[in-house]
């Protein structure tokens, strides 16, 4: 289940790159990726989401890796 959730978070965060809006995920202002890696105080608790990745560094590494989204393909609406 956790691998599914990790891929789902990746899909959501990486969508601006996938759609060609930016080349790098950090360049998209409104992505939740930047909120997740930021040290700023947030209005929502993102701790559980980060726990799925074990650490901030693992989260960043996961998002730098090419993923084939087989686990969530059936839920993606193009």
Over residues 14-70, the pLDDT tens digits come to: 888 888 999 998 899 888 888 888 877 666 667 788 888 888 899 899 988 887 766
Q: How far is CA 65 from CA 45, 61, 77, in A?
A: 25, 6, 23
Q: Which is more confidently placed, 68 or 78? A: 68
Q: Which is more confidently placed, 78 or 8? A: 8
Question: What pLDDT is stored for residue 12 in this prediction?
Answer: 86
Cβ-contact 70, 11 below 8 angstroms: no
Tell me the C-alpha distance between 55 and 61, whole Å: 10
Question: What pLDDT is stored for residue 14 in this prediction?
Answer: 87
- The model's pTM is 0.70
Q: Tokens 């105080």 appear where?
A: 41
Q: How far is CA 59 from CA 18, 47, 65, in A?
A: 18, 12, 10
Which DSSP state fits 71?
A: T
């Amino acid at each position: 289940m956790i691998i599914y959730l990790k891929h789902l978070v990746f899909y959501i965060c990486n969508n601006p790159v996938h759609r060609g809006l930016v080349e790098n995920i950090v360049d998209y202002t409104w992505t939740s990726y930047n909120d997740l890696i930021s040290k700023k105080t947030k209005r929502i608790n993102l701790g559980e989401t980060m726990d799925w990745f074990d650490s901030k560094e693992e989260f960043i590494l996961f998002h730098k890796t090419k993923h084939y989204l087989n686990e969530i393909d059936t839920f993606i609406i193009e």
